[in-house]
Amino acid sequence: MPELPEVETVKRTLERYLIGRKIVNVAVYYPKIIANQTKDDFIRHLKNEKIKEMDRRGKWLIFHLDHYDLVSHLRMEGKYFLKNPKEELNKHEHVTFLLDNGKELRYQDTRKFGRMYLFPKGVYLEEKPLNEVGYEPWDNRLTETYLKEKYRGKKVPIKTVLLDQSIMAGIGNIYADEILFVSHIHPLKLASQLTKKDCCSLIQATRMILGEAIEMGGTTIRSYESEKGVHGRFQQHLLVHNQKFCSTCDTPIERIIVGGRSTYFCSHCQKKR
């Protein structure tokens, strides 16, 4: 599943090719992808709209148009491709946008879990789903006091709470493990038991880990050709997730299930108390 750094990488790549382009035509082959509009309205509204700017909020990708904001979540397997419209459509390409430069932006999703929302310009942050998304990791309002307050009374493992997009946005399963490892916090420690110091470490680790991942995406993406897929899977150089031994102390990494998700940690570096 693409996480914040991957979505940021997709955004940075797509904006190079899409800013200033006008959408000439749209086709929807799997209408369920369009969450808050009928297929016909979606197509009608998007025709002749220019892509002015791109943005990211949590794991959501946002296309700012002349009169609308298109909000897209890739979920498990969603990817954008820029192709020649003459190229035959594959069965996983569900939405296509023909551009004024003769290229076609195609949304491909083998699992079909991705969703697109189209809003009149300016309201997307006040509407579902984005009105429920918490602070960005680099938001100044994200402080240890804020986290401590949010975690108060939460008798749930911190690993699970980190995945809750309504507190801090953009952290998925893989980076949650990495963040807890760098913060020396055991994934099963209850959120309510975290000290202010823990919260401070969490924020610093989140910014560092996600920042580095974006940087890596940024360097890898330079070799990308426009016709190739833009999917931003740059989850290399992981410290603990899916690893055999701790990179700090050489202890074998343990794998447990927390809230239904695979969780990796070092029992020596990440103590419960």
Please identify which residue in 145, 195, 219, 251 interacts with Zn ion, judged by CB under 5 A. 251
268 near Zn ion (CB under 5 A): yes
CA distance 130 to 97: 23
Contact 20, 63 (CB under 8 A): no
CA distance 182 to 8: 22
165 near Zn ion (CB under 5 A): no
- Of 221, 241, 177, 227, the residue nearest 7 (C-alpha): 221
**Partner residues linked to 98 by β-bridges:** 25, 104
Contact region with Zn ion (CB under 5 A), list: 24-32, 96-104, 156-164, 261-269: 261-269
Which CB atom, from 193 or from 248, has the smaller least distance to Zn ion? 248
Contact region with Zn ion (CB under 5 A), list: 136-144, 156-164, 197-205, 244-252: 244-252
Please identify which residue in 123, 249, 259, 271 interacts with Zn ion, judged by CB under 5 A. 249
245 near Zn ion (CB under 5 A): no
Supply 88's token pair: 């035959």
Please identify which residue in 158, 169, 185, 269 interacts with Zn ion, judged by CB under 5 A. 269
CB of 223 to Zn ion, least distance (A): 34
152: left (phi over 0), alpha (psi -120 to 50) or beta: beta
The number of beta carbons lying within 10 Å of the beta carbon of residue 119 is 19
Please identify which residue in 28, 246, 253, 258 interacts with Zn ion, judged by CB under 5 A. 246
Place of tokens 């890739």: 74
Peptide bond into 187 cis (omega under 30): no
Contact region with Zn ion (CB under 5 A), list: 10-18, 58-66, 233-241, 251-259: 251-259
Catalytic residue among 57, 59, 115, 189: 59
Residues forming the site for Zn ion (CB under 5 A): 246, 248-249, 251, 266, 268-269
